[in-house]
Amino acid sequence: MGIYVITGGTTGIGAIVREQLLEQGHEVFNIDYKDGDYCVDLSTHEGRESAISAVIGKYPDGIDGLICNAGVGPTAPPRVIFSLNYYSSIRLAEGLRPILKKKKGNCVITSSNSITNMTVRLDWVNMLLSGMSEERVMDFAQDIPREQSASCYSSSKHALARWVRRVSASWAVDGMRINTVAPGNTTTPMTKNLTEAQKDAALLIPIPTRYGQREFLDAVEIANAIVFLSSKLASGINGVVLFVDGGIDALLRSERF
C-alpha cells in the first residue's frame, strides 16, 4: 500500500478522497486549516513551507501520491483566491516533488470546469504564469474589486491547469505523473449554503447527466476521478485536464477537446 498526502482533506471532496484511500489500505496524511493531521494556513508562504518541511520530515523515504485539493470558492477575497487556489498548489507540488520522485509517485490537482468560461481573465492568467513574484501579484490583487472574485477564481484555476500541462513532460522524465481534475458544480459544504437565486444561476445551463433534475453533481463522483488518477490504473495518463462536470464542457465546447 502507498503513502498519500492530501491538502483540504477534512471536508467535501477531499474528505471523500481521503476516506476512499484509507479504505484501500493506504496511509493518508491530511494537511488542512483545521482538523487535519497537520493544521496550517496554506494561503501563506510560511504555512506552505512548514507543511512541506513536515511532510519531508515524516516521509524522508518518499510518498506515492500528492493530492492538492485545498482551495476557496468564487466568493472569497481576490488575494486569498490567488494565494490558496494557485500558489499553494504549485508550491506544494514543487516542494514535495523530490520525495515523490523517490517512489515515482504522482500528483493530482483540483482545478474547475470554470477554466473555459467567459469569466477567465487571460491577462491575470498570464500574470500568474509569468514568474512574477507572489508578493507583486498580491499587491495587484489587493486592488481588485470584490465583485470580480468570480473572475479571480476561474483565472486562478485556468492558470493552475495550464501549469500542470506545462510541467507534465518534465515530471514524466523523472518517472512521475501530474494531472488535474476539473469539477463542475458539486454538492459540498461550500455550495450547500447557496441561496436559491445563486443555485438557479449555477444551474442556468442544465448538467447533462442531471437533465430534468435541479441538483449538482455528488462529491463522490469527483472523488472517484481523483482517486483513479492517483492510482496505478491511470499509469498512462499524464498532463490531462479531466473534466468531471456531467458533460457541461462538452455541451458548451462540443468542437474542442
- 153 carries an active-site annotation: yes
Q: How many residues does the chain have?
A: 257
Q: How far apart are CA 33 and CA 163, in angstroms?
A: 24
Which residue's entry shows cell 458533460? 247
Query: 3-state SS of 219-247?
Result: HHHHHHHHHHHCCHHHCCCCCCEEEECCC
How far is Cα 63 from Cα 215, in angstroms, rounded to an integer?
37
Q: Within 10 Å of residue 182's Cβ, how many Cβ atoms?
A: 26
How many Å apart are CA 216 and CA 188, to the nearest integer?
9
Residue type, 241: V
Let me know the angle formed at the C-alpha of 3 by 14 and 228, rounded to the nearest 5 degrees.
55
Q: Give CA separation, 150 vs 61, 115, 133, 140, 182, in Å.
A: 40, 11, 22, 16, 16
Whether 81 and 72 have beta carbons less than 8 Å apart is answered as yes
**Distance from C-alpha of 166 to C-alpha of 176, rounded to nearest angstrom:** 14
Beta-ladder partners of 244:
183
User: 4, 59, 86, 153: which is the annotated catalytic residue?
Assistant: 153
Residues marked active site are found at 153
